[in-house]
């Protein structure tokens, strides 16, 4: 996540820098540093910011689960964390999910795939610097 995307998330959430700092459990100085690009945004902060944005925008209860969108086989479904937790709209947030036939080894690897996926794009509003892809539907 870059500084533009981070700032966009804050605006989507409708929070001041101070309010977002409280939500994310970081200092106001950290938020300012993230938005200025002086500090790299830690992965745990990125995950929580995206999760909060997804919660704010997930008013559409008709969101199709990832295993339907990606047409996963029953075998893959049974092995996937998203299926086990019945959280197909939050598959991008959950470690241990099976995307493109394999479990991703890191958050960065996973997000490269997720940022192009229609499940993620349907739950997390588009942000600057991230093109809306067709996903793997």
pLDDT at 135 over 60: no
Q: Is 15 left (phi over 0), alpha (psi -120 to 50) or beta?
A: beta
pLDDT at 22 over 70: yes
- pTM, 2 dp: 0.76
For the segment 46-57, what is each residue's pLDDT rounded down to a tens digit?
Answer: 999 999 988 887
Residue holding tokens 């200092």? 27
**Domains plus CATH for the chain?**
3-57 (1.10.260.40), 66-123 (no CATH)
What percent of the chain stands above pLDDT 70? 86
pLDDT greater at residue 126 or residue 27: 27
* pLDDT for position 58: 64
- The three-class DSSP label of residue 36 is helix
pLDDT at 125 over 50: yes
pLDDT greater at residue 87 or residue 35: 35
- Give the pLDDT band (50/70/90) at residue 14: very high
Work out the mean pLDDT of the chain and round it to a whole number.
85
């Amino acid at each position: 996540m870059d500084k533009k995307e981070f700032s966009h998330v804050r605006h989507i959430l409708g929070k001041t820098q101070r309010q977002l700092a409280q939500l994310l459990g970081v200092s106001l100085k950290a938020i300012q540093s993230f938005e200025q690009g002086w500090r790299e945004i830690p992965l745990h902060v990125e995950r929580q910011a995206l999760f909060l944005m997804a919660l704010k925008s997930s008013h559409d209860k008709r969101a199709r689960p990832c295993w339907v969108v990606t047409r996963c086989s029953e075998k893959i479904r049974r092995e996937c964390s998203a299926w086990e937790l019945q959280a197909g709209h939050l598959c991008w947030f959950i470690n241990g999910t099976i995307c493109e036939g394999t479990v991703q080894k890191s958050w960065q690897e996973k997000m490269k795939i997720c940022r192009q996926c229609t499940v993620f794009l349907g739950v997390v509003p588009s942000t600057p610097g991230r093109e809306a892809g067709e996903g793997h539907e």
